[in-house]
Structure 1
Amino acid sequence: MSSNPRKSRPQKLRVGTRVRYRLPGSFLEAVVIEDRGFIRRGEQVVRVRTINEPDFPDEFDTPVRLLDVVEPATDELAA
């Protein structure tokens, strides 16, 4: 069994995934709207749209490490 000294990439977040953006003592509800790729020091960056958050920007880019998954994206289409 060989050991790999490189860090493995975390699981990618997909478009449509509902997430929470961590703030000190709180969080923002959001949904991933675009995968920007592994562009910031090898970290995946995604664009999110906030949900019912009038005091924050509607959309912004963030590293995935600052997000918690609330509900994974689904491939099913609504009937």
Structure 2
Amino acid sequence: MVCLVEALILINTTSGVMDKVHEEVKNIKEVRKATKADGPHDIIAIVEIEAVGEIRDALMDKIRSIKGVKETTTNLIIG
């Protein structure tokens, strides 16, 4: 049995591209759910991966390479 790791990724975008970035984030296979948000972050994504290292090595590269992503904050979900 594979134990999946969950993480919450908070994404800030440059002005005027939130909808486009949201659509691209939703299409990343590791993203279980992505939603636009009102508050300090533009998009919140919940991801499931098999190993913590996948966040840094693959997933963050995918998200940060989307044109319009300004910054991200990743929080591992524990418990």
For normalisation by structure 1, the TM-score amounts to: 0.35
More strand by share: 1
> TM-score if structure 2 supplies the norm length?
0.35
Higher relative contact order at CA 8 Å, sep ≥6: structure 1 or structure 2?
2
- Indicate the structure with greater helix content: 2
Greater radius of gyration (CA): 1
